[in-house]
Structure 1
Amino acid sequence: MSKIDIRHPHSLPKAKARKAIEEVAKKLAEKFDMDYGWEGDTLNFSRSGVDGHIMLEPNDLHVHAKLGFLTAMFKEPIEGEIKRVLKEKF
């Protein structure tokens, strides 16, 4: 099983960071047909072959995702899109 593990620094107040993470999730949902929802300060996302979360921490975000066998072939484009959107929003 392939994994994505990204830490991305931020200096936004919590409310603005949550809003930005929500925008990241919307873009991922549109591009990769993912479902998502908040559980505390963690945004969970999933679709067939992908299960992950974005944890909002005081000074950074932690993105972790497990990719199934078939989805692992698309690890680089998925990881690249996550990094691109994080850079754009943060």
Structure 2
Amino acid sequence: MATIEIRRSHAMPVEELRKKVDQISGSLEAKYAVHGRWQGDEMLLEGSGMTRGVKGRIKLEASTVLIELDLPLLLRPMKGQVEESIARKLDKVLAGG
């Protein structure tokens, strides 16, 4: 599997960060049919439809956010595009956008 790993620093309270991660999750769901559900301070991600087989997580840490996604064979050619799109969205929401 092709793995995407994006890590960014932050200086926000966990509750505020959780709201921002919900925005990212909504974007992933709308654009890639990847659904998220909270389990503690981690959002577990799973694809459906054309993105079936995508699995990952968004982990909230004291000073960082970590996004990890495993892409199945069918989606490997899109790895760069998916990674760039998610990184851009993460940077935007962490900046207050």
Q: Same fold (TM over 0.5)?
A: yes
| Runs of 4+ off more than 6 Å | none
Residue correspondences, number: 90
1:49 Cα deviation from its structure 2 partner: 2.6
Alpha-carbon contact 1:49-1:71 (below 8 Å) kept: no
Identity of aligned residues (%): 29
Partner of residue 58 from structure 1, selected from 48, 57, 62? 62
Structure 1 unaligned segments of length 5 or more: list them.
Answer: none
Q: What is the identity, as a one-letter code, of the residue corresponding to 2:69? A: A
Structure 2 unaligned segments of length 5 or more: list them.
Answer: none
Alpha-carbon contact 2:28-2:35 (below 8 Å) kept: no
User: Is 2:72 the partner of 1:68?
Assistant: yes
RMSD: 0.7
1:46 and 1:78 map into 2 onto residues whose CA distance is 15
SS of equivalent to 1:12: coil
TM-score normalised by length of structure 1: 0.96
User: Is 2:88 the partner of 1:84?
Assistant: yes
